[in-house]
Amino acid sequence: MSIATPAAVPTAAVITELTSIAERIARMAGQLILEGRRSPVEVASTKSSAVDVVTAMDTASEKLLREMLAELRPLDGILGEEEGSSAGSSGITWVIDPIDGTVNYLYGIPNYAVSVAAVSGPPDPATWTVLAGCVHAPALGATYTGGAGLGAFRDGLAVRANAPQPLAMSLLGTGFGYARNRRVVQAEVIARLLPQVRDIRRLGAAALDLCAVAEGGLDLYFERGLKPWDLAAGALIATEAGASVVGLRSDRPGENLTIAGPREGVETLRGLLLELAADRDAPDVVV
């Protein structure tokens, strides 16, 4: 495959090529981690807390993704969850999550995925432009793709987010942090929201939550603490499916808070989350 160095405004052909690469390497990494589930999975290390785990397959999957990108796109930068960032010279950076939903993976719950996205500009959700992305869930047999301006797809078929619904008729998705002082606030927020919505789901993988919004499996989604690799591909796919993906106090999603869904529903949910100050953490607590 030829190595395309995108111009400041990539063409549809370049975006299509980047999407194809994202899908190709996500599928390869997905096959690797799926085969890895045939043997017992053990925790290799932890990150933010004792329950925020890394498995050997997280590391192996990212290694494979980096090797494939070095072959296919040697001038591009890479930002990965496990190995950090490496600079490139093309203006394109690949933002990769080798296993989104590692705890699900550890327990054999099938809601986990490989997330791969190509962005232009610094790999920061506050400023980047996401060009292409793939979220591949090997245990679910589902592959979501999206290209900027080219639509969103599941297994090659176009997907579309749900039309706006009253909050009382909306199914929400969310996720929880690992720190106790964050979970205290998140529990308060859920307790206040639950009586006002159809129901709430916690799938355990942010990229798949965003893809669920894209295909109508969730009406709305919100979560605090998402990293760039959690967001990049899924947010593009949701946006290309007609959803709005924003922050709590900004039109850009990010670690502070991410909200996704139809614009009207997002604004209603955003108002409630602002009232609840959902982007705060409680003082350190002893539980």
How many domains in the chain? Answer: 2
Is pLDDT of 2 > 50?
no
C-alpha separations of 251 from 23, 147, 241, 283 in Å: 28, 20, 18, 28
Residues 269 and 278: beta-carbon distance below 8 Å:
no
Sheet containing strand 151-154, strands side by side: 84-86, 77-80, 92-100, 113-120, 129-137, 142-147, 151-154, 157-158
Q: DSSP characters for 152-182?
A: EEETTEE--PPPP--GGG-EEEE---SSHHH
Confidence check: pLDDT of 34 > 50: yes
Does 5 map to a domain?
no
- Which of 96, 128, 158 terminates a domain? The answer is 158
- Please check whether residues 19 and 154 belong to one and the same domain: yes
Judge if 151 and 16 occupy the same domain: yes
Please provide residue 189's backbone torsions phi and psi, each rounded to the nearest 5 degrees: -60, -45
Main-chain dihedrals φ then ψ at residue 24, nearest 5 degrees: -60, -50
- pLDDT tens track for 37-82: 887 666 655 555 544 446 888 999 999 999 999 999 999 999 998 8
Q: Domain range for residue 121?
A: 12-158
Mean pLDDT of the 143-154 span: 98
pLDDT in tens, 164-182: 999 999 999 999 998 999 9
Residue ending a domain, choose from 158, 189, 204: 158
Amino acid identity for residue 112 in this structure: Y
